[in-house]
Amino acid sequence: MQRNVDKAKTETKNALQTLYDSLNKGQQKKVVKNAKVKELFDRYGVEYEE
């Protein structure tokens, strides 16, 4: 069961990272200003710039 949870978490992190990386710098800064998005990024370990 834990393996499935870890797999889902990794897949979610990778999807969020891909999405973030595909944005231009202005869009990246704007999306990180949203507290809910920032919390989600932090939860899944997405690397971002503030």
User: 19-47 pLDDT, tens per residue?
Assistant: 999 999 999 999 999 999 999 999 999 99
pLDDT for 26 equals 98
Q: Which two tokens stand for residue 14?
A: 């990778």
pLDDT for 4 equals 95
Region of 21 on the Ramachandran plot (φ > 0 left; ψ -120 to 50 alpha; else beta): alpha
As a whole number, mean pLDDT of residues 9-24 equals 98
Confidence of residue 7 (pLDDT cuts 50, 70, 90): very high
Q: Which residues contact 29 (CB under 8 A, 6 or more apart)?
A: 49, 50
pLDDT for 47 equals 98
Q: Could you give the CA distance from residue 36 to residue 27 in angstroms, rounded to a whole number?
A: 16
Determine how many CB atoms are found less than 10 A away from the CB of residue 30.
12
